[in-house]
Each structure stands twice: as C-alpha cells, then as structure tokens.
Structure 1
Amino acid sequence: MNKTNSILVLLLIAGVVASVFTGSVSLSEIDNIQAFSIMLDVRLPRALMAILVGGALAMSGAVFQIILKNPMADSFTLGMANGAVLGAALTVVTVIPVVFAPVISIILGLLSLAAVLVIARRLDLAYRPETLIITGILLGALLSGLLYIIILIFPNDTANIARYMFGSLGGANFSQVSIVLFLTAVSFIILERNGKVLDLLKLGDIRAHALGVNVSVIRPALLVTAAVPPLVAISYTGIIALAGIIVPQIILYIKPMAFRPLLKRSILIGGLYILIIDTLGRTIIAPLQIPTGIMVMLSAVPIFIFLLYKRILVNAR
C-alpha cells in the first residue's frame, strides 16, 4: 500500500471514530448504557455503511467509465439507480418480503442498464457518450415517474418510499453492512484481477481484441460485476447520485493512473467522501437530519460542473 492510500485508510478510521462520537444526542448527557447502545447499534453501522456505499459507487463508476468509454457514466446517469430504487419500493407496497429487496433491485437495475445500452445503440450507431447519457437520464426519469405513481396509489407508504428517493443511511444495521461488504469485496477481487484487461479496453475494442481480450464476453461480465454492489447498497439507502462520477474523475484529473491503483484510490476516497457528507448531514442542523443523497447532490453538483468545464476546455484545444 502506497503512502497516499495509507493516509486515506487512517483518515477513514479517524472519520469512523469521529462519526461514532458525533450526533444530535450528546453522549455526556445520557447514561453509559444508552451511550454505548447509540454508538454501537446506530452510529457505527451507519458510518460503516457510508464507507461501503461510497466505495461501491466509486468503484462502479471507475469501471463503467472505462468500459463504456464515457467519463460521465455511473449507476445514476445510466438509470440503474432509479431501477434499483423502484425495485426496493415494490417490496414496500407489495406482498414481496422486504428481505428480497436487494434481489429485486439487482434485477431491475441490470434490466435498466441493458435497456439503456440497447436503446442507445439503436438511436446512435456511433454509440456516442452523449447519446448513452441522455438515454440513461430519460429512462431514469421514466422510472422515477413510475415511482411517483406508486406513491400516489399507496399514500400510507409515502414516508418509506421517500427515503429511497432522497437517499438516507438512517436505519443501517450490521446485517446490511455485512451483505454490502461481502459483495463489494468479491467485486473488488474480480475487478482487480482483471486490471490489465480494463487497461487494454482503454485502447479500444479492436486493439484490445488484437491483444487477446474477448471483448464481447468480458465487457458484459465486468459491467455486471461492477453493478451489483452499488445496486444492493442503493436498495438499502436509496439514490445517492453523482458520487460514482466525480470520485474517479477527480482522481484522474489530479494524476492519471492505471486501473488497479485507480480502483483502490476510488474506493478509499469514495468511502471517505460519503462518510464526511453523511456525518455533516446529520449534525449541521441537528436534531433535523438532511438526507445523505441531498447532501451529496449539494456538494457534487459544483464538482460535476467543474469537471464538465475542464472537459470542454480540453476538447476545444
């Protein structure tokens, strides 16, 4: 582990400690048993989930941007997040047990991705990045519309569904943390072992194929591998947008690097970013809590505009 990654790990540990001891409830004003319960059962799983969600989103974004040759590709811009949230919402208003929410979210999220890829290819044979993103945003809007209809039909469940729409880490528990951790770890191992393949895909399909990469097989396999962890995370937390775009792009803007170091750096910075944002969201106007998804949007949009501006300048040269 290099020096920068070691520092990021230490910052993550310090961030978890600070998050556990920070909140709307002052630990000094309650007895030790209550304080211990709040720290261990409420704040610790929330902090760990923040790190995992940020890491999964950033990891997925880094892979999608390479495979699809699109710096603005992630689970949100490709409609997957909306599909995953719709799947989770269906478990709230139907007889489907909530325990199956991750499975339904994975299925609808992957179907959304497949639909975006197919529609974009049919609309534009050149498969330009802007066509892919526009298609993803439009499909995401369509899925959001379906979600609003569900809210109208089932008004009594509006509060639960709204949590998915705005993205919240409240209610995270160690069971959810364990599932997301396992899937993220498996995905990371697979993607890290295919680091050379992903570097070759940067060169283009023809050159990658000439160098021994079975592009038609490896591309969908790696897309699914990268998509599953954030889809499951989203099924628990709701939509947390743009983190998957800005983290890898900021890293590459500061220092271009191969895929493997980019993957590790993205996970660490993504986890730290969401941890900080979530802690701020639940403390700056305590006892009111700003949903994590809202906090991420407020902080990410300026960065997103900055990246677009820099990209336009580079293309104009």
Structure 2
Amino acid sequence: MAEKELNMNVRDDNVSEETKKLISSLPTYKDSLGKLCKYQGCWYYYNTLQAVINFQNNFRPQNNDIILASFPKSGTTWLKALTVALLERSKHDHDDPLNHHPLLSDNPHGIVPTLEIDMYLKSSTPDLTKLSSSSSPRLFSTHMPLHTVKEGLKDSPCKIVYVCRNAKDALISRWHFKCKCQKQDDVSRSSLESMFESFCSGVSFYGPIWDHALSYWRGSLENPKNVLFMRYEELKTEPRAQLKRLAEFLGCPFTEEEEESGLVEKILELCSFDNLSGLEVNKTGKTSLNIDRDSFFRKGEVGDWKNYLTPEMESKIDMIIDQELKGSGLTF
C-alpha cells in the first residue's frame, strides 16, 4: 500500500463511536503501521473496519452485480483486467478489439473500484450512480472474506469470482509491494522476516490467508452458480481454458464465431502481464489513493518465493497451511 493508502487504512479518525465500542470488544493487535482488530474472523485496521461496516449496512446490491474477490497480492489486477475485457468485448469490433478499449486509458484498479477501500472508506454512502448501466453489470472488487461480503449483499444472486494464489507467492508479492509503496530502496531481510512471522500467525491485514481462501472455497462448493473459485496458477498454465470458464460463469460465453476469430487469444494478449505492464497508463501516474500505478506490476511469476524464503521458512508456512486446510479439499 502507498503511504497515503496506509495512512487512510490505519488511522482511526473516521471511526464512529458505535464502531469504537465494537472494537473494544474485539481482539486487537498493534503492528508497525497501526492498530488492528479481528472482526468476523479477519484482521483490519480501524478505518478499514469502519469501511467494512459501512458497506455491510449501506450497500444496495443489484442482481447483476459482479464482485471480484481476492486476498491482497493474489492476482487482483489480472482478474480485473480479464473481467473488464470479457464484458467490454460486445462494445468493440472483433477485428479491432483494442480500439478505444478502457484498459488502454485507465488502470484496472481505476476501472473496478474496491468496495472497502475506494468506496466505503471515504464515505458511508458513496455515490454509485456513475457505475450503473443498463447494458453492463456493475463491477466491484474486495479483499473481504465471503461471509463478510455476503452480509452486504443481502441475499442478492450476484456473481462472485475469487482468485486464490499460493500463500508463499502472495506473501513475497505483498512484501515487495509494501516496500515499494513506502519508498524503501533497501528491501531489507529483516522486514521480510517480520512480515513472515505476522503472516504465519495469521495476524496481518486481511489475514489469516487460509481462512480467507476457505471462505470462498466452501462458498463455491455450496453455491457454484454464484461463487467461482479460480487459481492464479491455473490462469498461468491454462489461460485459454480458464478465461472461457470465467466467461461461462459470468453468463457471457464465447460464441463459436468469436473463438474462430481468435478473440480469446486477443483478450489474453491484451490482459497479459507484458502488455499491461508496458502500457503508458500503467507505467506512470497514480491511482485515486495516490498509489503509483506501476506498483501493481512486478513479475507476475509462479514460484518467485523460492528466491526469498529459506528452507526453514518454507517448511514452517507449509506445515501451517496444511494443518489449517486439512480435510477441506483445498490445497495451495
């Protein structure tokens, strides 16, 4: 998170008296950035908790809303780009799908706002009218676990897509992101070790990662028509099949004509790491929360954790994950 975003999330100046009373009854913890509390099984900084509660109390879902969910640094940017490209394709010439495409003029995070950071962190009743369209569903993203999101959806049949990533890669990506956003030129080993310990204890922003993933895994098994569980690694190894799977889930499957015209491949190329990271709109400028847009593009690789975690760290996190996921059918 960038300096401004970190400040907005960790401050408690926007917390209502009612929420302060709630916090007094919750488990709390203080890290290097600020105070965290555990609400509905997930750790939040105080301001973010207020945003979560604002969302739960005030969000008015529409039946065709689409929520893109993830644990931070788990493929959020890519999932947003792919979903935008899928939904936008009917508006563009198949022979020239990149003509005036929104992904060429805005960062994926600018197109798909995050409910508890972009929207309800700033206001308890944000104006969502600009997101409404008679021809397209509203697109939102979130890092909240499923049971917390569902409180705000009020039994709406809207679609939820979750992307899961190997916990070790998510950790390393989060560490680099934090260091870059805080302008730490020296990506120190000590800062990684500190984040690793918090990550393993589960006491970290939006943690524990295993409970987060389990909420969506179980949701996808219980309600597969409304919750889709995707894996970052499968998107990397079989992108065509996974994109078609996503399109079918969202109710906009590719036609035979579209497949024959190579549209699937064109969308994958448009949303590829190399292409998105090379676009001027993603290399310069900042998001609405003052985050450098290029902070969202580092490597996008599978297994990069091997370059940073010791065998002892690998063993520890694997043992914890295996224990926490035991019997669920879910593996990282």
Q: If the length of structure 1 is used for normalisation, what is the TM-score?
A: 0.31
Q: If the length of structure 2 is used for normalisation, what is the TM-score?
A: 0.30
**Does 1 or 2 have the higher relative contact order (CA < 8 Å, sep 6+)?**
1
Higher strand share: 2
Higher helix share: 1
